[in-house]
Chain A
Amino acid sequence: MVAKKWNRRDFLKASAFGAAGFVAASSGLSIAKASHPTKSRTRQAATIQVIDPWAAAPQLADAHDAQIARFMESHPNIVVERSEIPFEEFRQLLIQGALANDIPDVVLIDNPDFHAFAALGVLADLTDAIGSWGQSDLYFSGHWSSTVYKGSNYGVPVFSNCLAWFTNTDMLETAGVAVPTTWDELREAAAALTTEDRFGLSLSATHSEEGTFQWLAFLWSAGSDIPTLNDEGGQAALQLWVDLVSEGYMSQGILGWGQWDAKDEFGNLRAAMNMNGPWVLGSLRDDYPDVNWQVSPIPSDKVTTSILGGENYGISSTSRNVEAAWEYIAWTQEPENYKQFLKDVQQFPSRMDVAEDTYWADDPVLSVFLAQIQQARPRAYGANYLEMSNAIQDAIQAAISGQKSVKEALDDAFAIIEPLLSE
């Protein structure tokens, strides 16, 4: 329950230790690889530290504190201390912590980064613990696969989310347009909904993981994938975005917008449609109470799909309290505890047994997301995913800004990605 913000001093301390750790690491002084789960002599003193990337998300942070309080009530022999850092700095601080052998016991990592951190050796191999726990079959296979790297199991999903299609009900009604379900309908709807003072739709194509996240949903829908990025499907997916911008149905501003900016365009009636995740639901209701909207599946081409987001729990490879840490994680996954936490954070279950709960199934908005999550795919491309993602961001931006043709942009990106796939 002790929430601690990483301030500048902690940061500097971590960097200093990081530098010190590096000498040891690179000059060959052996650093114990993964400390073996020590048999805890007394069960009294176990203190585990948990770190999450929610310094800027008070709703998530409060829910996490509440969950930890509930755990400690029923587990007086384990003390859980939570600390938080902003999402954008999470990766960097985790690396510095890893160099200093000073990572909190339990870490909550964004699922596309999870493979990379497993590869870095930052996470403890939990294959045995999870095997004897025996509940892995209860999870949606898409999300579960993001916790498995090279056959070993490094964690458990915290929660899932995915993208869906938001439409402004009033605008669609006035224009006499139905919610698009195919790409052709999408083009027509975008054209019909574009007026003098608004665009047909808003997306995020910014030069960050958010841009890749949004576009991959289209790439997969076209029947393509990163290992075949520059095939016909890949070109069709990118061409669609390029056309929507060049025909004026989508602002070129998408190149700079994150998903929250794209949501604001939609809320401010500057866009009639928007692709986004459940994390904007609270803001749409609170900040734009007069806007009348609904949620539907993403218009699809060949394959109906969505893209999976969410966090995974992992245990740091240097943790001295692996047993207590695992006890905590396993406790969070017990259906009652899990449901309570998910309702507090407004996210979706990664477990099938919990997904059947009426809380999600009977809600007109949440049920759409829940249905999409079951079809959603994770970004499970191994340790080099972030570099592939960067190449894809370059391709999207080059094509939309007119610097390269769609084919050229994708060929260039693929030339970078191909060697990374086999590594």
Chain B
Amino acid sequence: MLGRITAIMVKEFIELWRDKSGRIRLVLIPVLQMLAFGYAATFDVAHVSTIVLDTDASQESRDLVARFTASQRLDVVAIATQEADIVAAANAGLATVGLVIRAGFARDLRSGHGARIQVIVDGTNSNSALIALGYIGTIVARYSQDEADDFAGRLGGAAAARPVTVTLEQRPWFNPGLNDRWFFIPGVIGTVTLVLIVNLTAFAVVREREVGTLEQLMVTPIRPAELIAGKTLPFLVVGFVQVALVVAVGTLWFGVPFVGNPLVLAGGTLLFLLSTLALGLLISTTCTTQQQAFATNFIVLNPIFVLSGFAFPIASMPKVLQWLTYLNPLRHFLVVIRGTFLKGVGLDVLWPQFLAMGAIAAVLLTASILRFRKALE
């Protein structure tokens, strides 16, 4: 029994090492994901290209435009002479924001009735547009406040007339710098192991089916349970090595703090890996060629990725999809990862996630083993 499992495991490791594309998958996927999410992925919106149409051309309008120019977030890239220029710039993608200050702006302001400006935003990328609008709102609010103070001062009311204000004191917990990298890098542990382990497991089985060695194995005295154990245990080991690798690079190279208990993360990893192994096995039972397996992996892994909270907040999803995410092992694993990395919480907080992952792994493993045995017969 143990001899047969060992024989398969040894063979599996040799094949994994000899297979050039397998080795590339093993190293390249984690490295690329780390680079992509460590350096490229950020929610920050900076240097929003802005075009300005100022038909008022007053001291006040120039002051407002200067505040846009001075902002780190917005870059005034062009001055328009007519509204058509803004349309053209938006169509060509040269400007994301158009600021329109019409004639009469300064006059209205001085009258004390308040003045209007118009902001046009290219909403193609809704997220960036929303954030840019936030920046503009802040700039305009400050300008408005300053103008109001100035107006009140000139009327002679001075400090007494100044309205009461509320000051917001911000102190983000767990990630004081609101560093996107701290959010993404721990998540990469989940996505890398998901993609890699599902792929490796599915391909390891489908390859044998395609080449014909699976049939050869079936006429040996090996039992299905031994075959499944021998074919999945190596990838459990590979999974743990991958996780260790990503944790090491994330903390040592990208400086993401790890404040929790490594054993809690290891326990969560084990439960998650069992789900990914089962998923790979399940996919392998539906495919006869490696090409099919590749396509199926793509179809299956994409929703898991999107519905995990890795990048898109689950709270913003429609209710039905939110319920669906509870069936997603990656969703729970990400909570465990981020909880251990950034918050340092333990099983007292994370037990629901452990329970959910354990249940998902049990269901997936049972289904995959039953299907696998059936596929062998």
A-B complex is real:
no
Interface residues of B (CB under 8 A from A): none
Interface residues of A (CB under 8 A from B): none
